[in-house]
Structure 1
């Protein structure tokens, strides 16, 4: 069997693997840098564009939504087309959309550009996992997963810092242009360094109807979650409640239409996928216990990862009065936890071949980090906040990549693309829904607190004490756009910081039950040993086994009949011919 495996695949040295991975690592670095460089600047960006909390949430959610929807599409395409070309296409889409985002003149344009950006991000996320499976076995992949964790950590730490400095010293628009030269280098490196084994050609069939249905279902539910319970203003300045078409903000006619439409689209999607010859997400994968439980666990990881990156930056700026640069520095403990856990655990998995214990510890850290962050206030000791962030980061680092690894270890080689992208899809979907729900909870909590009698009395007294300056401050707070807290007078700033801290801690509480579910799913994962064969080697081994079986069957026919069957004809027909 081993003779059917090419030497380049079975004897690839550590240096050759690193050379092949360099393009992937650089592509992921471009993706992460372009995404994180704006995270510390988003409050300033939304303030300058005149957006409110809903716009802030959708600037993030738009990218996560299209990333989630496009991930299984890229995964399916990777089983049908050249994976290297697809990876280069994903980089190109991502950076062009990022550049357009830098030209945004209003929140709508920014959200649209970020949505297109997510299409490229989905490709980079899905294809990097699939390509890794092509060239590295699950047993050896742990230490290389650590490299991806390191790149993620460096870009996640460096991005907000770089973005904060650019925003404070130049202009936030340059945050979107900074990734362009890195993208050009990534395309060149991928072209020269990434060499993948050839895959057998398959008949191409894309499930377009499934794509439309999935997009419709997810988009309707997210738009409902983001807007339900909020109010907007019409052209005459009158408040329009989301529930004006019904008796209640959350239980209104619009709610029935959007939730009902989303659920109907989801049900039709399931029916279509069951009947499709080339389904976008093969629902037969859910028969595999490992895949199903990994998907459940990945949803919580996505909520923790995306939710923390979005709302921790807001907490630093809106609740602690930090500048964008300072906010980037203050989130380092979380990234440190992610970096250390992903590298150390990856190396340990490769060395000892054991993985389940580390995932269980990671699940415990996710619960601890989510819960402790739900207790923070504007004046909580920052050392404690750092410990809470470190716990959450360590939990994400131990679970995120390794859940994909576990699925790839047990999935048939022909379905590696859709299985890997399936886990990534549900992680992104979990993050998208999590950010939307947490953002809606934050907006509702802040609105309630700002309208309470106690806060109104404190705010009125603080504004009155400012004299003439108070009128301008009051106008800014009443505009509905996100305040630039670091520039508010101290008397008002303390009140606003307290309100936003309560809102953000309330939103983190939502992640706790999902983290508990994630731990339960991890505990019940089958503890299957990691194989030392790459996907390409497993595919060739399967083909070799099939050829051996076919040859054995053919020899049985020859022995029984004494004749030579015609190639392509059934054995019975050959036997009938000899009998004649």
Structure 2
């Protein structure tokens, strides 16, 4: 069979779409694996490299920050240049970052590698959704969202387990290097199976100033969230704090002024005129803390607060992953069959947020089976919401702007995850202040889990209001 070629006039068959999806999902799997494989390994890595609680947070936040800062840029480039080539470049960047992170001998080098990884992950996330939006009509996209959900769930489930096993056998460096073969295989598959319709030739101007302003404002905002109020750095009301806030404000103002005038804005203001897109951004950004931050800090609670090993910690996160898998695949099939999508956003948000508040009652005596029930409900709610928010937005834009629109949702979702990591890390750091002995630290991690998960639930709450206000628009049957 000839390679699959996307065409707006001749829809691709189910078999052709699956062929095109193979390489995309392999690359997406490598990206998701890199985020989740470190969850159970990180407490061990930080101990071996004499890292701090703040550096623990930044191994996670640095990746999300780089992801967030570059996702809109990748998305805009996807509307201007060859999506297939860009996807392969993103895989190359991700591979480089994986190697650097695994080779690092200090926490600083590890964080640098994770930042490079984040740049590649930003491209893979934005480009995967942009390519899917190019080759699949919104009404049919629900069934394929199930494949995306299955890939994400498998990577998320396998990540903590593989990370724990590698730490206890081959060593923690292989938690980063293990993704390299997957990325290389994905490159080969993409080269062979994916052939998109030729990009329309036109003169383009890259919005470098807008991209710089966006990256600067995002970086300064994440730095402020991580450092302000931390006893090791500076108070919320202080000169460094004011300087970072000023950079954020100036960056946003500069971005707004430029994007309204340039021909090819990296963050197109027209995207935000849609009520559906604006509300979906709010929901994606706030629900992201349940998808990204809670899994990361569950490993910290299980290992440092309850004294479990990396492998056991990974096993205990499985209910969260299975819940996510069920929520994504079932709702995807139902949306394709019946065409309705808002009901799943509302039910999923309500369920996930309520379960997050329930999780906030955890302490050092909570039975593990009960924690499993709580996090499985969080996963189920997240699975019903995250992918379907992207579907709702892609249904409102033309194929020529689908890269920028998809990247906008991915950007704010990643910002939300980084926000959750920073806030939860700061809550735990404050709770551990003064703890010196191993016993005090263990008690601090166990007791600090409750306020940490409560912070996550509070951040996620606005998502329910946002999805209630979304107006349901019938899904298109054409690309």
TM-score normalised by structure 2 residue count: 0.96
Name the structure 2 match of 1:260.
246
Q: Given the alignment, which residue of 455, 462, 469 partners 1:517?
A: 462
CA apart distance, 1:199: 3.0
String of CA shifts for 1:281-333, please: whole Å, max 9, x gaps. Answer: 01121111111011011111212111112111111111111111111101001
String of CA shifts for 1:115-153, please: whole Å, max 9, x gaps. Answer: 111110000000000100111111111111101111111
Q: Distance in 1 between matches of 2:14 and 2:118?
A: 32
Whether 2:472 is the aligned partner of 1:527: answer yes
String of CA shifts for 1:537-561, please: whole Å, max 9, x gaps. Answer: xxxxxxxxxxxxxxxxxxxxxxxxx
How many residue pairs end up in the alignment? 475
Alignment of 1:44-443 (within 5 A): 44-232=44-232, 242-243=233-234, 249-443=235-429
Mapped contact 2:207–2:265 kept (Cα < 8 A) = yes
The runs of 5 or more residues in structure 1 that have no matched partner are 233-241, 244-248, 451-473, 478-487, 535-580
Name the structure 1 match of 2:32.
32
Q: Distance in 2 between matches of 1:315 and 1:393?
A: 18
Mapped contact 1:141–1:350 kept (Cα < 8 A) = yes
Name the structure 2 match of 1:17.
17
Name the structure 2 match of 1:508.
453
Name the structure 2 match of 1:568.
none
Q: Distance in 2 between matches of 1:38 and 1:55?
A: 14
Q: Secondary structure at the match of 1:530?
A: coil
TM-score normalised by structure 1 residue count: 0.80
Q: Distance in 1 between matches of 2:423 and 2:406?
A: 26
Q: Distance in 1 between matches of 2:321 and 2:89?
A: 29
Q: Distance in 1 between matches of 2:69 and 2:6?
A: 36
Q: Distance in 2 between matches of 1:8 and 1:265?
A: 38
CA apart distance, 1:230: 2.6
String of CA shifts for 1:464-483, please: whole Å, max 9, x gaps. Answer: xxxxxxxxxx6xx4xxxxxx
The runs of 5 or more residues in structure 2 that have no matched partner are none
CA apart distance, 1:9: 5.7
Q: Structure 1 residues 372, 153: CA separation in 2 closer, same or farther (over 3 Å shift)?
A: same
Q: Secondary structure at the match of 1:57?
A: helix
Mapped contact 1:57–1:439 kept (Cα < 8 A) = yes
Mapped contact 2:6–2:195 kept (Cα < 8 A) = no
**Mean Cα deviation higher: 216-225 or 147-156:** 216-225
Mapped contact 1:377–1:498 kept (Cα < 8 A) = no
Name the structure 1 match of 2:442.
497
Q: Distance in 1 between matches of 2:461 and 2:163?
A: 34
